[in-house]
Structure 1
Amino acid sequence: MKKFIRISLGVVVASFMAISCDDYVDIDPQYAQDADNYFLSPSDYDKALTGAYDLMQTSYLDMWIGEIASDNSIAGGESVTDSEGLHQIDNMSHGGVNNELRSLFRWMYAGITRVNYIFENKDKLEFDGKTRILAEASFLRGYYYFELVKFFGDVPLVLDKRLSASEISAQPRTPASDVYAQIVKDLQFAADNLGWTTSTKGRITKGAALSLMGKAYLYQNKFAEAAQTLDKVIDEGPYTLSTDFSTLFRVASEGNSETVFDIEYVGIEGGGYGCFVCLEGFAAVGFHSIRGYKGPIYADGNSYNLPTQDLVDEFEPNDPRLATSILDIEAFKAAQLPVKVEYTVGGGGHTGFYNNKYLKRADELGANDNDLTSPVNHRVIRFADVLLMAAEAHNRKATPDDTKALAYLNQVRTRVSVNMPPVNATGGALTQAIYHERRVELAGEGIHFFDLVRTGRAADQIAGFKVGKNEVFPIPQAEIDLAGAGWLQNTGY
């Protein structure tokens, strides 16, 4: 996905993106573009949409934090002061000054600003295909707000406009329930106006919109609504489970039948360590990979986000997903003999395990600094996730349908191996079986922390987790100060 307009990040800075150059010089520069001389052709709207898509490429932070904050992994890395904010989250000692949380907050609002810029100018021109552009833009806004509300709870809700300087200081935090209502509204518009398939790889589809909507309902414990929405994806969508879990996360498998919502990456342009928002490659892959690695199959990286023994122990004996999801480096090293495998241990911690779904492989390297140019896509929503969300929704709704829940659950289990025994349970026992299946099926994909929080299990599973505090992360203090809107910090921070 190519860049459109590089905007400054953050609620405050992004709001000034359309200030005219007339404020500084007497004539417009030759190539100046603002709302008065843009959105004059269909291609302008399509380019603006590409710019709105662009912020999704920062999704590596969502994945990292969703694993590191849970009991699935530790922060890792070169040292405990290398990406210190991740180590604070790992230890549940994070506060309002945290670079990673601030980046996530700012990047999501930068994406929202780009979407709002489109909607602010949606009536300037009528043309065939505009509804599709607005539908995809609606999905993107729903996605960015979903990321914000699941991390931070109440957040300012800004729609269809950029904010002037005077408006910023009067912009309150919106209750999470109202933010979720807008998310559902945006996703419903997207679902109503998009098809199940698209001819352009990476574009949003009806299935992506409905699946994210089902997830938004699930996060609000609206189980009947979630079940109805996710059933539509299962019954009417084109999705099936891949027959080969072992290759599911490889570049060659992108766009397979299980793909509901991927974030697309390419390995041809790197950006740099000073501008992670500039990356075209998936940064998580290089950062997850094996420090100082020399040997076959893999390539060296930075040893972040290291799976724990607790996660390994969650897998049932002979579950083939374990080997695909988690690399046991010493077992791998022994299996390669007489070929020699070398690696080093970072000062940020070591478990002996690596996130095998997103590791650098010698046959999937990007250009130049391949730590930053991985072409591997981020699988945000897979059909397996849809089935398991639907199973949970049917099991937990006021009038449970455990028969349907069991069918969905066992469909996920039996696709990986005929030797995986089917679950035969109801009620609370089935609920626990679904939770287990979500943890092992989606291991390493950045979902587990939020699953623990929304189901009330986080305090029992995460060391240092404080009920009434750690369900959400702190609003970055710098953003509170810059906005000057009197936002109260989240409880306990």
Structure 2
Amino acid sequence: MSIKKITAFVLILACMSCEDYLEILPEGQENTENYFNSQSDYEDALVGVYDLLSTTYLHNLLGEIASDNSLCGGESPTDVLDWQQIDDMTHTPDNGALRSVFQFMYAGISRANYIVEFQDKTDFEGKDQILAENLFLRSYYYFELVKFFGDVPLYTESRISIEGSQSIDRTPKAEVYAQLEADLQTAIDNLPWQQGQSGRATKGAALALLGKIYLYQDKFEEAAITLDQVINSGQYQLVEDFGTIFLNSNENNIESVFEIQYFGGEGGGFDCFQCVEGNIAVGFMGPRFTGGNFSPFTSGFSFNPPTEELYNAYTTNDERRDATILNMDEFVAERPDVTFNLGNTIDYTGYYNKKYIPYAEANSGDVNLTHSNNYRAIRYSDVLLMAAEAFNRGGIDDTKARNYVNLVRVRAGLDEIQTSGANLTQDIYSERRLELAGEGHRFFDQVRTGQTNSIPNFSPKNVLFPIPRIEIELAGNRWEQNAGY
């Protein structure tokens, strides 16, 4: 069964209410006495948990827009106002994009908890792996919530209900992280290094996520040991040509540790983004082409344009620059017949995110919402740089840290570095920015490492986003708001 396809059962589970994530699994709607009685029932339910990964397209956009890597863009300064507010750091607890993040991630958690709730009902060969994949996915969703909001309510035993939300407080993020560490250790023990189906969680993906969670807590020794297991496994390597990594023809390549699968053959619409099987972010980030031959690309909505400062941060011999950023002046110079709409002229920079640019393809439905570009959620180069940071900042082994950084630099066509100590730390931060630009990691890297001075309009409260006001109200006003909001 394809991970991208939602079965009839999953559609029942979803109930896809756009009004309240707590209603996604209404109590009593599914007769559990007649479900979870076979291996296929558990597999179908797991497909439903995987399906919510598609909504993390929003994290890719916001992780760049909130940072110093890009501006919001769009057609005008009020186009998708929720994103504009995050770009300007004027967002409030009523921001709709932040509520979507909160809703979508808890929808995934609730689906995962449905399996946990009935994990002991039926035994069959291979169940431990299904449960391990489920724990990985729940950990992934919780980690995203902690990145955005800090302390969050921790539900682990059953589906989320309104009554449940009104009887649980926000859990300190240290306790959430402790739960994720335990869950991922269990998952690691029961996951294979390779799966027969692209996009499914593996031992390497679980180790990489665990290492990242350690790094976010400055647990450098644990992070170094964990990430080294991924590196020493021999399962991954850097793709030789950086310019090919993000091509649709090179998905699930040897550098992909965890990749979210998207499908362009099933339509959707603006009235229900979570119903779309395509990568929504891609269509939003493309240039607004209006004429001429702009193949192999197609038109988009001009959001998330990289800044000139980011473009200039690359040296001219860095092979990553032109594979990461589309320079429109150079593109039009080569194709003088091409015309395009600048969109929001205030935010027009002359650059677009080339990693996730919309390609012309035989997609269906609204063509701007159904692009099949997979999201490379965790790449091997990210693992190398996280490991380098752990070895360096933990004072463990600068030589090993430097070697990991140089693997990434040499692939980019650059000379090796020879720094150590605090200078090496800054080099690692710089390499993370240049290597991962456009992939949604920048803002959270800046916050966790204290590099927020370069973010326009940033204030101390912006290290976290506000808990959506309506979610606090639905929880009976028992949850405190993040400071400053």
User: TM-score w.r.t. structure 1 length?
Assistant: 0.94
The answer to whether the Cα contact below 8 Å between 2:22 and 2:161 also exists between their aligned partners in 1 is no
Q: Which residue is equivalent to 2:418?
A: 424
Q: Which residue is equivalent to 2:118?
A: 121
Q: Which residue is equivalent to 1:20?
A: 28
Q: Which residue is equivalent to 1:350?
A: 348
Q: 1:486 aligns with which of 475, 478, 481?
A: 478
Q: Which residue is equivalent to 1:197?
A: 194
Partners in 2 of 1:162 and 1:197 — Cα distance? 30
RMSD: 1.5
The answer to whether the Cα contact below 8 Å between 1:265 and 1:374 also exists between their aligned partners in 2 is yes
Q: In the superposition, relative to structure 1, how do residues 441 and 41 fare at CA in structure 2: closer, same or farther (>3 Å)?
A: same
Whether 1:392 and 2:395 are equivalent positions in the alignment is no
**Alignment-mate amino acid for residue 405 of structure 2:** L
Give the drift of 1:233: 0.2
Give the unaligned 5+ runs of structure 1: 22-32
Aligned residues with identical type, % of pairs: 51
Q: Which residue is equivalent to 1:461?
A: 454
Whether 1:245 and 2:242 are equivalent positions in the alignment is yes
Partners in 2 of 1:203 and 1:55 — Cα distance? 13
Whether 1:470 and 2:452 are equivalent positions in the alignment is no
Partners in 2 of 1:345 and 1:486 — Cα distance? 46
Q: In the superposition, relative to structure 1, how do residues 9 and 159 fare at CA in structure 2: closer, same or farther (>3 Å)?
A: farther
Q: Deviations over 1:348-402 (max 9, x none)?
A: 721110000011123x4522422111111000000000000000110000x3311
3-state SS of 2:258 partner: strand
After TM superposition, the runs of 4+ consecutive aligned structure 1 residues lying more than 6 A away are none
Q: Deviations over 1:114-169 (max 9, x none)?
A: 00000000111000111111000000000000000000000000002124543321
The answer to whether the Cα contact below 8 Å between 1:11 and 1:483 also exists between their aligned partners in 2 is no
Partners in 2 of 1:164 and 1:60 — Cα distance? 26
**Alignment-mate amino acid for residue 309 of structure 1:** E
**Alignment-mate amino acid for residue 272 of structure 2:** C
**Alignment-mate amino acid for residue 488 of structure 1:** E
Which segment is superposed worse, 430-439 or 178-187?
A: 178-187
Q: Which residue is equivalent to 1:109?
A: 106
Q: In the superposition, relative to structure 1, how do residues 70 and 365 fare at CA in structure 2: closer, same or farther (>3 Å)?
A: farther
Q: How does 1:68-87 map to 2 (within 5 A)?
A: 68-87=65-84
Partners in 1 of 2:205 and 2:160 — Cα distance? 29
The answer to whether the Cα contact below 8 Å between 1:365 and 1:373 also exists between their aligned partners in 2 is no
Whether 1:359 and 2:362 are equivalent positions in the alignment is no
Partners in 1 of 2:64 and 2:163 — Cα distance? 39
**Alignment-mate amino acid for residue 408 of structure 2:** V
Q: Deviations over 1:461-491 (max 9, x none)?
A: 1121112x11110000010111114111100
Whether 1:92 and 2:89 are equivalent positions in the alignment is yes
The answer to whether the Cα contact below 8 Å between 2:162 and 2:474 also exists between their aligned partners in 1 is no
Give the drift of 1:8: 3.7
Whether 1:323 and 2:322 are equivalent positions in the alignment is yes
Q: Which residue is equivalent to 2:170?
A: 173
**Alignment-mate amino acid for residue 313 of structure 1:** N
Q: Which residue is equivalent to 1:54?
A: 51
Q: 1:209 aligns with which of 206, 209, 212?
A: 206
Partners in 1 of 2:44 and 2:32 — Cα distance? 14
Which segment is superposed worse, 144-153 or 7-16?
A: 7-16
Give the drift of 1:281: 0.6
What is the number of residues matched between the two proteins? 474
The answer to whether the Cα contact below 8 Å between 1:293 and 1:299 also exists between their aligned partners in 2 is no
Partners in 2 of 1:48 and 1:293 — Cα distance? 43
The answer to whether the Cα contact below 8 Å between 1:187 and 1:213 also exists between their aligned partners in 2 is yes
Q: 2:42 aligns with which of 41, 45, 49?
A: 45
Partners in 1 of 2:362 and 2:403 — Cα distance? 39
The answer to whether the Cα contact below 8 Å between 2:268 and 2:365 also exists between their aligned partners in 1 is no
Partners in 1 of 2:353 and 2:221 — Cα distance? 34
The answer to whether the Cα contact below 8 Å between 2:20 and 2:103 also exists between their aligned partners in 1 is no
Give the drift of 1:330: 1.2
Give the unaligned 5+ runs of structure 2: none
Q: Which residue is equivalent to 2:409?
A: 413
Partners in 1 of 2:19 and 2:398 — Cα distance? 45
3-state SS of 1:470 partner: helix
